[in-house]
Amino acid sequence: MSLSRRTFLATASACLALPAIARAQTTHQLKLSHYLPPQHQINTELNRWADELRETTGGGLDIQVFPAGQMGPPPRQYDLARTGVADLAFVYIALSPGRFPRTDALSLPFLFADEAGVPVSTADASWIATSMKDLLQPEYQGTEVLYDVVSTSLGFFMKDKLIETPDDMKGLRIRPTSAIVANQLEALGASPATIAPTELADAIAKGVVDGAVFNFEGGKAFQLQQAVTKVSQLASSVGFFSLVMNKAALDRLPADMRAVIHDSTGPEAGRRVGALYDKAEAAGRQFMVEKGVEVIELTGDRKTPFAEKLKPVADRQIADLEAKGIDVDAIVARVDQLKAEL
């Protein structure tokens, strides 16, 4: 082959390759919003994921993470993603009460626990919830759920009273984590009180409230050991979080980049991120115990009177959901099926 022919073929091949190279060099910039502080494990994880996608796509996907509510306050996070103000958001579902009824069904008392009331790990609960995308996704209009995180380690963080039976809760003022938990507190004889997490340690110390439903990771972050001396863990509720992406923003991406996002999220990503919560929770528990906080688990026989008191609350919740057309039995059955696969 002559030099000129080889040169012609090489030039022609290079020209044919140009569109693919151009596509690879196109940068798709996305904004990811969340409300948690920069030092939180979720902010670290979301930035790690953004770096991973940037490397995998050769710079084609460039996700900028905006923490600490820079793009909007916590209750607006979902709508930031739904309306396209942000392309993605990490959302605390409890801040939108009644908006996601199928997801609310996952907050039924002891759903993520065994018969003795011992909860599954946050890692496993997150895998379970994310594996139920076919049942939950229809209510997330305008977005796609990439993974869920279900925190299963909650308890009564009290100033000086150890909660061992429902009778111990009568007349107490306790901060709930959600409207569903507020209903549970009322059924147990307590009065729910709204207090911002940043003000909680001071409010407990001064007796404005007697305690809060909280977790150890949050307790450490908000310095609750300054006011709390007793913790009783009860698996009657969960904290539900979701990473969602604006559907139009996702659909605008090239197919290969959509595949990268889907391949790096889903049930196993939920499990991995949930494991970060488990690790932070264990560290938070150790921290508070070392500060002198007494911790007990309301499991086994200790769980029974709480379950009995909460059954009417669960029955009302189920009736309300079924009135909205939600097949609660199907959702509970799927959770039980997935728990059996752990």
Query: What is the residue-level pLDDT of the chain in tens, covering all 342 positions?
Result: 444 444 344 444 433 333 332 345 699 999 999 999 999 999 999 999 999 999 999 999 999 999 999 999 999 999 999 999 999 999 999 999 999 999 999 999 999 999 999 999 999 999 999 999 999 999 999 999 999 999 999 999 999 999 999 999 999 999 999 999 999 999 999 999 999 999 999 999 999 999 999 999 999 999 999 999 999 999 999 999 999 999 999 999 999 999 999 999 999 999 999 999 999 999 999 999 999 999 999 999 999 999 999 999 999 999 999 999 999 999 999 999 999 999
Residue 7 lies in a domain: no
Measured distance CA(32)–CA(48) in Å, rounded: 13
Instruction: Note the pLDDT of residue 207.
Output: 97
Measured distance CA(79)–CA(231) in Å, rounded: 35
Residue 6 lies in a domain: no
Residue 120 lies in a domain: yes
Instruction: Note the pLDDT of residue 25.
Output: 63
- Residue 296's domain comprises 27-340
- CATH for 248: 3.40.190.170
Count how many domains the chain has: 1
Residue 22 lies in a domain: no
Residue 195 lies in a domain: yes
Residue 211 lies in a domain: yes
Instruction: Note the pLDDT of residue 148.
Output: 98
Residue 2 lies in a domain: no
Task: List the structure tokens of 324.
Answer: 């909205």
Residue 3 lies in a domain: no
